[in-house]
């Protein structure tokens, strides 16, 4: 008994023929779309505008975080993010993304300070930063 191998719904030649057909008529299609748009066809206008100026995937974020210079500043930043969530100026996704960025910032500060000589970094500051990092995680 011979077993047939799995084939896609479109034979391999059909996809190539479709591409060739589209390529042959692409200029005419685009020209017709532009003509319809110039005449005020709403669908043609929308298609043209979406290509010229695609819709934003995310809105520009107009939210001010307090300055972040030390791991201790993350507490105020997270409080500001929480307030933004509460008053509706931030969506849940935006708040989560900002909180993740604050966490990454704190992690980088803690790691960077571990590389400093012990004399340059007060012990209390390093310990407080690492404790805040664990709480933020």
Please state the domain count of the chain.
Answer: 2
Structure token digits, residue 124: 């209390």
Dist CA 101 CA 90 (whole Å): 15
Do 100 and 46 belong to one domain? no
Do 130 and 84 belong to one domain? yes
CB contact at 8 A, 99 and 78? yes
Dist CA 135 CA 108 (whole Å): 15
Residue 128 lies in a domain: yes
Per-residue pLDDT of the chain (137 residues; tens, 9 = 90+): 455 555 555 555 566 777 777 778 888 888 898 899 999 999 988 888 888 887 767 777 888 899 988 889 999 999 999 999 999 999 999 999 999 999 999 999 888 888 765 444 444 454 455 555 455 44
Do 46 and 77 belong to one domain? no
Question: pTM of the prediction?
Answer: 0.46
Do 42 and 82 belong to one domain? no
For residue 118, what are the domain limits?
73-136
Residue 59 lies in a domain: no
Do 78 and 48 belong to one domain? no
Do 45 and 92 belong to one domain? no
Residue 5 lies in a domain: no
């Amino acid at each position: 008994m011979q077993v047939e191998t799995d084939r896609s719904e479109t034979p391999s030649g059909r996809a190539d023929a479709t591409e060739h057909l589209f390529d042959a008529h692409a200029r005419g299609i685009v020209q017709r779309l532009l003509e319809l748009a110039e005449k005020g066809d709403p669908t043609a206008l929308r298609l043209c505008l979406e290509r010229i100026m695609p819709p934003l995937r995310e809105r520009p974020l107009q939210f001010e975080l307090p300055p972040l210079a030390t791991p201790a500043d993350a507490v105020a930043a997270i409080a500001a993010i929480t307030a933004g969530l509460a008053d509706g100026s931030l969506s849940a996704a935006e708040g989560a993304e900002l909180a993740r960025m604050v966490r990454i910032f704190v992690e980088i500060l803690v790691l960077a300070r571990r590389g400093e000589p012990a004399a340059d970094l007060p012990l209390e500051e390093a310990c407080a930063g690492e404790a805040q990092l664990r709480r933020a995680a």
